C-alpha cells in the first residue's frame, strides 16, 4: 500500500488530491488538464492492480472509452479507487475483513470533524454502527492509538497493533453493559452500541502517537458517556442552536448536569470511570441507586453548568462514599435477604403443590368418567340380556349422547386445568424475576425450581393421555352407532 501510494504521489502529487469515501472503497479525485493525463497515461496503467482501480473521466483506465475522452487542453477528473477489503487483507492477513469496520481517512482533521462530545450518537454512526471493532487507517498523519474497540493508525504503524484482535469477548461485554443500562437508565435518543470503554484510551502509553485535540475530544466524550450511564435520565436540549446533552440524577433532590466539550483533568475522569465500572459490575439497580443519592448530596448547591465540573472534582469522594454507603445498605438488607429467600422457597413448594393438585383433579375426573362408562356398559348389557325386544337403535343413541357429554365435560375440565397450570407457572416466573433483583442466580434453589418444571411436565403427560382416551371413546361410539350389527355382536359376546 505504501509503495503504491509512493508511486502515485510521485506521479500525481497525492497530497493535493481530495479523499472520497465509498461503501467498499475509498478514492482520491482531482481535476487535471487532458494534456497532463495523456502524458502519464501509461504510468498509471502500470500502477493499477487488484487493490487499486483507476478511472479517467468516470471510465476504467484500461477501457477505450477512457482514452477517447481525453481532449487536448480540457479539464478531466482522475479517480484512484482503492479496495478496502484488499488493503485490509494486505495489512492484516490473519484477520477476517467481515468481522471489522474498516475506514480510511486522509488525515486527523477528517476524524476530528466526526467526533462531537455533545453528540455521541453521531460518533456511533461514524465509528461503531454495528458493534464491530473499528479500524481507522490514516494516509498522511502519523498516529497510533488503540483500545479493545477502536484503533486509529497510520500506514507505517500497522505492525504496532497488539491486543486489538481479541474479538468475541468484547462483543459479549458490550451486550451485557447495554442491557443493564436499558434496564436502569432512560437515555432519549441514546446509543445502541456505545459504552464508555469505547472512548477510554491510555494516552500516556509511550507507544501511542496522537495530538492534544484528539485527546480532548475522546476524554470529554468518555465523561459525557459515563454520566449518561449513571444518571436516571438523559436527553438533548437546544442551547445556543446546538443540541447539548443534559443528564439528571434523582436522589435526595433532582440534580441536572450539562455536558461539556472538554475536561480540566483526566485523573478526575478516571475516578468517574471507576465509579461507572463499580456500578455496572453487579448488573443490579442497588449500586446505581446509591450513586444517584450520593451525587445529589455532593452537588446539591450547584447548577447545570457548574455541576459538570463539580462532579469531576468530587469524583474520588463520590466513588469512596458510594462504596461506604453501599456497605451500610447491604448490612441493612441482610435480614431481608434471607427472609425473601425463605419466602421464595416456600412459594416454589406452593406452586409445585398446586400443579400436583391439578394433576390429581384430572386423574379423578377421568376415573369418574371411566366408572360411569363401566356402569353404562353394564346397564346396556343387562338390558340386552333380559329384554329380547330391546331397541338397539335407542341404546346406540343413548350411548352416543353419553359420549358427547363426556367430550363436553372433558374439554371444559381439560381447558380449565391447563389454563390453571399455566397461570401458576406464569405467577412463579414473575415472582422469580422479582426475586432476581436482590438475589443472585446462584442463591435461587435449583432443586425446588426444577420441581415446578417437573410437575408441569407430568401434568402435560397426564393431560395428553386423557385427551387421547376421550377421543378414542368418542370415535368408538361413533363407529358402533354407524355399524349396529357390530354393536349387537359385541354385546352378545360379553353378555351371552
Residues 146-175 have pLDDT tens digits of: 888 899 998 877 776 766 766 566 778 888
Mean pLDDT of the chain: 77
Residues 72-105 have pLDDT tens digits of: 677 778 888 888 888 888 888 888 888 888 988 8
pLDDT at 493: 56
Q: pLDDT band at 219, cuts 50/70/90?
A: very high
pLDDT at 55: 85
Grid cell in block for residue 54: 483507476
Q: Record the pTM.
A: 0.63
Q: Is residue 405 a contact partner of residue 372, using CB atoms and an 8 Å limit?
A: no
| Integer Cα distance of 438 and 2 in angstroms | 57
Q: pLDDT band at 26, cuts 50/70/90?
A: confident
Q: Is residue 262 a contact partner of residue 222, using CB atoms and an 8 Å limit?
A: no
Q: Is residue 411 a contact partner of residue 312, using CB atoms and an 8 Å limit?
A: no
Residue 197 has pLDDT above 50, yes or no: yes
| Integer Cα distance of 37 and 155 in angstroms | 28
| Integer Cα distance of 163 and 403 in angstroms | 74
Q: 442 vs 85, which has greater pLDDT?
A: 85
Amino acid at each position: 500500500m505504501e509503495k503504491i501510494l509512493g508511486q502515485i504521489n510521485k506521479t500525481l502529487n497525492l497530497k493535493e488530491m481530495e479523499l472520497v469515501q465509498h461503501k467498499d472503497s475509498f478514492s482520491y479525485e482531482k481535476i487535471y488538464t487532458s494534456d497532463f493525463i495523456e502524458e502519464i497515461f501509461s504510468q498509471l496503467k502500470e500502477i493499477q492492480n487488484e487493490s487499486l482501480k483507476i478511472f479517467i473521466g468516470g471510465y476504467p483506465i484500461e477501457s477505450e472509452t477512457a482514452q477517447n475522452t481525453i481532449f487536448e487542453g480540457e479539464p478531466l477528473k482522475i479517480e484512484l479507487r482503492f479496495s478496502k477489503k484488499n488493503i485490509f487483507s494486505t495489512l492484516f492477513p490473519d484477520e477476517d475483513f467481515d468481522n471489522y469496520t474498516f475506514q480510511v481517512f486522509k488525515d486527523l482533521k477528517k476524524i476530528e470533524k466526526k467526533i462531537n462530545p455533545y453528540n455521541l450518537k453521531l460518533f456511533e454512526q461514524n465509528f461503531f454502527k454495528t458493534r464491530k471493532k473499528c479500524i481507522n487507517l490514516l494516509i498522511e498523519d502519523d498516529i497510533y492509538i488503540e483500545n479493545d474497540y477502536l484503533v486509529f493508525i497510520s500506514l507505517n504503524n500497522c505492525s504496532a497493533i497488539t491486543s486489538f484482535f481479541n474479538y468475541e469477548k468484547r462483543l459479549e461485554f458490550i451486550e451485557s453493559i447495554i442491557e443493564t443500562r436499558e434496564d436502569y437508565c432512560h437515555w432519549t435518543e441514546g446509543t445502541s452500541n456505545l459504552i464508555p470503554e469505547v472512548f477510554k484510551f491510555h494516552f500516556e502509553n509511550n507507544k501511542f502517537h496522537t495530538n492534544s485535540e484528539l485527546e480532548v475530544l475522546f476524554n470529554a466524550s468518555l465523561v459525557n458517556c459515563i454520566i449518561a450511564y449513571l444518571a436516571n435520565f438523559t436527553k438533548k436540549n437546544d442551547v445556543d442552536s446546538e443540541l447539548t446533552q443534559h443528564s439528571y440524577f434523582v436522589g435526595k433532590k433532582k440534580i441536572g448536569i450539562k455536558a461539556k466539550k472538554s475536561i480540566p483533568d483526566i485523573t478526575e475522569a478516571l475516578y468517574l470511570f471507576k465509579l461507572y465500572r463499580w456500578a455496572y459490575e453487579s448488573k443490579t439497580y442497588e449500586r446505581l441507586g446509591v450513586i444517584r443519592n450520593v451525587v445529589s448530596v455532593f452537588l446539591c448547591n450547584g447548577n447545570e453548568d457548574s455541576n459538570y465540573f463539580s462532579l469531576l472534582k468530587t469524583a474520588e469522594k463520590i466513588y469512596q462514599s458510594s462504596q461506604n454507603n453501599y456497605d451500610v445498605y447491604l448490612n441493612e438488607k441482610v435480614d431481608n435477604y434471607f427472609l425473601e429467600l425463605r419466602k421464595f422457597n416456600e412459594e416454589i413448594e406452593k406452586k409445585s403443590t398446586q400443579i400436583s393438585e391439578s394433576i390429581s383433579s384430572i386423574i379423578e375426573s377421568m376415573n369418574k368418567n371411566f366408572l360411569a362408562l363401566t356402569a353404562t356398559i353394564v346397564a346396556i348389557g343387562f338390558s340386552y340380556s333380559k329384554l329380547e325386544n330391546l331397541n338397539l337403535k335407542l341404546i346406540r343413541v343413548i350411548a352416543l349422547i353419553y359420549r358427547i357429554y363426556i367430550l363436553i365435560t372433558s374439554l371444559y375440565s381439560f381447558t380449565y386445568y391447563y389454563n390453571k397450570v399455566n397461570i401458576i407457572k406464569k405467577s412463579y416466573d414473575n415472582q422469580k424475576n422479582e426475586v432476581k433483583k436482590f438475589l443472585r442466580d446462584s442463591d435461587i434453589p435449583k432443586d425446588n425450581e426444577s420441581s415446578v418444571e417437573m410437575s408441569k411436565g407430568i401434568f402435560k403427560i397426564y393431560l395428553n393421555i386423557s385427551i387421547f382416551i376421550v377421543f378414542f371413546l368418542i370415535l368408538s361410539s361413533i363407529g358402533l352407532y354407524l355399524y349396529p350389527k357390530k354393536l349387537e355382536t359385541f354385546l352378545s359376546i360379553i353378555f351371552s
